[in-house]
Amino acid sequence: MKELKNWDNKTWLSSSAYINLFNSFLLKKKKLNKNSRILDIGCGRGKIFGSLSRKLKLSKKPIGIDTVTHKDIDKSIDFKNEDVFEFLKSNQNKFDLIMIKQTLHFFNKRNRKKLIKISKDNLKKNGILLILSLKTSNNEIPCFKLMKHKLNIGLKRDSRMLKSICKILVNFKTDKFRFKVSLTKKKYIQMLKQRYISCLVNLNKNQIDKGIKEIESVYNNHISFEDTLESIQYRKK
């Protein structure tokens, strides 16, 4: 699969409303303070933990790991473009919170198990591993036909993935994060062009253009829906 570069580039995922609501969700899962150490695996531009770092006035920047390096990475995170397994293998300071948000599906089955295990090993006592993925049933994301087909394939894969993770973790809690999205059709079409979601990254320009025509004919000038994530929370004893 090609790299997903624009999921947090001028989308609702990069809006202050989304980031503030998501960080409130995080802080209900784990009480953090200025001395907390946090890690974001698949951080993108690091906007979520960058905002959290400023809010909590963290003494040490959150660490963000990603395979894509952007020019506009949040300056409040310590960004690392490196192999996550090598980083965690050599890490000496354990974390209060490790987040894997909408990233785990990029790893194959073997490496997913490996990542879960090594992440657990890198938690402090009472540290939290938080895994988030798109809601796998009745998903409301606006789609054209081919996009919906690709998305459903991915969601079925994610459903199997989440079930296998639960078997690995054994002791866990589940929850949902919900965000009400409201944007213009013009803005959403712009996001489709920049392939903001993984089910679009392998589509060619003709397929995207055809899909945009479908969106133009089906949706009104304003699009509203609920973006829902399923979360799995593991606390280290």
Query: What is the residue extent of each domain of the chain?
Result: 12-235
Collapsed DSSP state (helix, strand, coil) of residue 224: strand
| Euclidean distance between CA atoms 51 and 58, whole angstroms | 11
Is the pLDDT assigned to residue 2 strictly greater than 60?
no
Q: Would you give the distance in Å from CA 164 to the centre of its chain?
A: 19
Query: Tokens at residue 71, please?
Result: 């020019």
Greater confidence (1 vs 111) lies with: 111
Is the pLDDT assigned to residue 110 strictly greater than 90?
yes
pLDDT tens figures, 48-97: 999 999 999 999 999 999 988 888 899 999 999 999 999 999 999 999 99
Residue entry with tokens 């933990």: 49
Burial pattern 196-207, b for ≥16 Cβ within 10 A else e, equals bbbbbbebeeee
Specify the pLDDT at position 7.
56
Smallest CA-to-CA distance from 231 within 141, 137, 130 is with 130
Specify the pLDDT at position 113.
94
Residues pairing with 80 in the sheet: 65
Query: Tokens at residue 49, please?
Result: 């933990």
Residue entry with tokens 């894969």: 157
Contact 236, 120 (CB under 8 A): yes
Is the pLDDT assigned to residue 6 strictly greater than 60?
no
Place 14 in a pLDDT band, splitting at 50, 70 and 90: confident
At the top level of CATH, the class of 12-235 is alpha beta
CA angle 190/81/51 to nearest 5° reads 60
